[in-house]
């Protein structure tokens, strides 16, 4: 047994003693050691999904076991199985922060940028198109555009942190000696308080004012912290005057950040302020499909659409539901189905009203709500009452079931997909101009728990 195998076996034994046998068998037995030095250990995992799960849930367990075995704090690298050398290098750069050299490397280690947050993995949609374009412009020319500071605001879990860290990762990939500092306003506050207590405020100031790019996440938490605001105000001014890039995120427009001093709010708004809104259905589906593709997983379209339709306000929660679904499937060796997805969403959202609807459910529900029989809905009848009820049913099938237009048409007397498209467009147009009709359709929809 060579050194690599010997060390990894001991590390594995330590990990095994701290988790259940089932967890070890599922997540750790597939891992293979690749290389070891005094500073790094590289392991191979079956897919990017495995990496993300281990990185999120067991990384500290592995690092603790490594330190116990080697006595050192070493860097843990991941390699994705089944990739050629070029692809492995690219994958590695996404999996962990790009390795730097000299002082820049040491500086960046405190920044905690996630290698997963890059522009290539950010799904663009109408809700974030402007914000992404602005972020990319800043990343290409930090401190050299009028977008300084760049402030990105929006609700929780919509991708602000992803865009912010993508800027940092892009800068580091192009400028190897750049000093990028990522922190949250809470961490900034904690560091400042510690510096005051230990009489090291000058060291604190230097740490934040020597960077080329400062990324401050969740700046709204500076509210009502007057001394911290004062410190950040001077940090902001010095960086700005030296032509360094500042990027901020907040959960609302800066004009609504009550508890911040006016002069700080003024600084926040002196560059470019952009918002990220809630993604539409198509963008949510694309986000889930992108995540599945990154993890080399084949997820049925009906599953991603089902999750996207039920989780509308938070991308992070939506992606978490997908990860949980994949974990269920992997841990218990069961196929991914709509029933399993429904179970996972009920647990994730703490709701019992998650329903898996099919076309028959829609036909039955519309029939009950409109007093048009199921037989008439799927017949060739063309009276105004029947035709409108049928079009509502087709529209709701597209909205709530997620099956193909051709399949919907087959259930309605063998009609083709163009008929379904026409029906859906008619309903959408009428809902847009007739509030009474819109209420009627929403009422029918609500009777099905959607």
Per-residue pLDDT of the chain (450 residues; tens, 9 = 90+): 578 888 888 898 888 888 877 678 777 888 888 988 878 888 888 777 778 778 777 888 888 888 888 887 778 888 887 655 444 433 333 333 333 333 444 454 445 788 788 898 898 888 999 999 999 999 999 998 899 999 999 988 899 999 999 999 999 888 878 899 999 999 999 999 999 999 988 889 888 999 999 999 999 999 889 999 999 999 999 999 999 999 999 999 998 988 899 999 999 999 999 999 988 888 888 989 888 877 777 788 888 888 888 888 888 888 888 888 888 887 778 888 888 888 888 777 666 555 667 888 889 889 888 888 989 888 887 788 899 999 999 998 887 776 678 888 888 888 888 888 899 999 999 898 988 888 888 888 877 765
CA-CA distance, 355 to 403, in Å (whole number)?
15
The pTM score is 0.61
**What's the token pair of residue 420?**
């379904």
Domain 281-349 class in CATH: mainly alpha
Look at the domain 3-96 and name its fold: GMP Synthetase; Chain A, domain 3 (3.30.300)
Q: What is the C-alpha radius of gyration for the chain, rounded to an integer number of angstroms? A: 26
* Contact between 328 and 334 (Cβ < 8 Å): yes
- Domains of the chain by residue range: 3-96, 119-276, 281-349, 359-447
Do strands 150-154 and 272-276 pair parallel, antiparallel, or not at all (unpaired)? parallel
CA-CA distance, 266 to 253, in Å (whole number)?
12
Cβ-in-10-Å burial (0-12, 13-18, 19+) of 266 comes to exposed
Q: What H or E segment, with its residue span, contains residue 436?
A: helix 435-447
245 strand-pairing partners: 213
CA-CA distance, 211 to 178, in Å (whole number)?
8
CA-CA distance, 323 to 52, in Å (whole number)?
9
Q: What H or E segment, with its residue span, contains residue 196?
A: helix 185-197
Look at the domain 119-276 and name its fold: Rossmann fold (3.40.50)
Q: Pick from 444, 352, 333, 337: which is nearest to 391 by CA?
A: 444
Q: Pick from 444, 442, 422: which is nearest to 432 by CA?
A: 442
**What's the token pair of residue 219?**
């700046």
CA-CA distance, 5 to 3, in Å (whole number)?
6
Q: Give the list of residues 6+ apart from residue 200 with CB closer than 8 angstroms, or none.
A: 194
CA-CA distance, 72 to 388, in Å (whole number)?
71
Look at the domain 359-447 and name its fold: Chromosomal Replication Initiator Protein Dnaa; Chain: A; (1.10.1750)
Q: Pick from 218, 202, 199, 200: which is nearest to 210 by CA?
A: 202
Query: Three-class SS of residue 274?
Result: strand
């Amino acid at each position: 047994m060579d050194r690599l195998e010997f060390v990894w076996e001991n590390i594995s034994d330590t990990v095994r003693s701290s988790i259940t046998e089932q967890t070890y068998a599922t997540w750790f037995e597939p891992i293979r050691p690749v290389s070891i030095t005094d500073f790094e250990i590289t392991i191979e995992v079956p897919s990017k999904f495995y990496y993300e799960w281990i990185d999120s849930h067991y990384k500290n367990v592995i690092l603790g076991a490594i330190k116990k075995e080697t006595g050192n704090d070493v860097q843990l690298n991941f390699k994705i199985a089944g990739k050629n050398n070029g692809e492995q290098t690219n994958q590695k750069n996404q999996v962990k922060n790009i390795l730097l050299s000299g002082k820049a490397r040491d500086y960046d280690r405190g920044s905690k940028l996630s290698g997963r947050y890059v522009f290539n993995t950010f799904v663009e949609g109408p809700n974030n198109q402007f914000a992404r374009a602005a972020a990319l412009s800043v990343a290409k020319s930090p401190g050299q555009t009028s977008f300084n500071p760049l402030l990105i605001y929006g609700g929780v879990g919509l991708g602000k942190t992803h865009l912010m860290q993508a800027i940092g990762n892009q800068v580091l990939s192009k400028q190897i000696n750049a000093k990028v500092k990522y922190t949250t306003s809470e961490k900034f506050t904690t560091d400042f308080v510690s510096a005051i207590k230990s009489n090291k405020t000058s060291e604190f100031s230097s740490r934040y004012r020597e960077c080329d790019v400062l990324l401050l996440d969740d700046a709204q938490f500076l509210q009502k912290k007057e001394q911290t605001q004062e410190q950040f105000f001077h940090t902001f001014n010095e960086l700005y005057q030296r032509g360094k890039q500042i990027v901020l995120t907040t959960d609302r427009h800066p004009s609504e950040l009550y508890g911040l001093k006016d002069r700080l709010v003024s600084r926040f708004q002196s560059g470019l302020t952009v918002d990220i809104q809630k993604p539409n259905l198509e963008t949510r589906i694309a986000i889930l499909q992108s995540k599945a593709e990154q993890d080399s997983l084949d997820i049925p379209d009906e599953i991603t659409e089902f999750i996207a339709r039920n989780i509308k306000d938070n991308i992070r929660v939506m992606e978490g539901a997908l990860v949980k679904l994949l974990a269920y499937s992997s841990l218990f060796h069961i196929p991914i189905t709509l029933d399993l997805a429904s179970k996972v969403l009920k647990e994730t959202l703490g709701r019992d009203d998650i329903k898996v609807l099919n076309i028959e459910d829609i036909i039955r529900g519309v029939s009950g709500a409109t007093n048009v029989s199921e037989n008439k809905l799927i017949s060739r009848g063309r009276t105004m009452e029947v035709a409108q009820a049928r079009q509502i049913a087709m529209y709701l099938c597209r909205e709530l079931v997620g099956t193909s237009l051709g399949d919907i048409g087959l259930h309605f007397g063998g009609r083709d997909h163009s008929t379904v498209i026409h029906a859906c467009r008619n309903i959408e147009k009428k809902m847009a101009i007739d509030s009474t009709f819109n209420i009627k359709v929403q009422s029918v929809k609500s009777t099905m728990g959607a």
